[in-house]
Amino acid sequence: MLLMILIAILVVALLYAASLYNRLVGVKHAVAKAWANIDVLLKQRHDELPKLIEVCKQYSQFEQKTLQQVIQARNAVQSAREAQDIPALGKAEGVLRASVGGLFALAEAYPELRSNEQYMQLQNRMSVLENAIADRRELYNEAVNINNIQIEVFPASIIAGMFHFESKSLLAFTAEETQDVDVKKLFS
């Protein structure tokens, strides 16, 4: 009888451990899926920015320095995205958002550019992508938060340690990177 009780306890413990492991695998894959969703949107934006820059370049008097800042920021985001370096991506995203915002703000001084249908379509597309990235970033951070909690709570932390589940970094921006673009400064 004692042997049957011990076997039953062992079976319940193994089933519980398997359940914890499966839950950890699920949250790990939720993080990967959330990252993949962000990655798709970043790639789409990466592909749209050259089109926007080319339209702006058609106006020879347009600020070349601003265009260069957008190109450099775009390249930094692409590098961080490819390396899946979340902290670097957060920083590069902030710089890119500010430089694209500066590009749109400067375009206000060029009525012929603002009346260009292709420019307006690209500007709208960029706005849609920025909003989608913000939404996906929120979902990614939620998945990361759940992952990080799950691998730290007891007894899941034992299983997480045994199978090398790792905590993930949140995609965050500094306060400086999220400030509005100073339009007055751009025109002075």
Residue 82 is which amino acid?
E
How big is the chain by its Cα radius of gyration, in Å? 24
CATH numeric code, 16-167: 1.20.1440.20
Residue 173 in this model has a pLDDT that exceeds 70: no
pLDDT digits (tens, 9 = 90+) for 144-167: 999 999 999 999 999 999 999 999
- pLDDT score at 63: 72
At 24, list the tokens. Answer: 């950890």
Q: Where are the domains of the chain?
A: 16-167
Residue 185 in this model has a pLDDT that exceeds 60: no
pLDDT-based confidence at residue 179 (cuts at 50, 70, 90): low
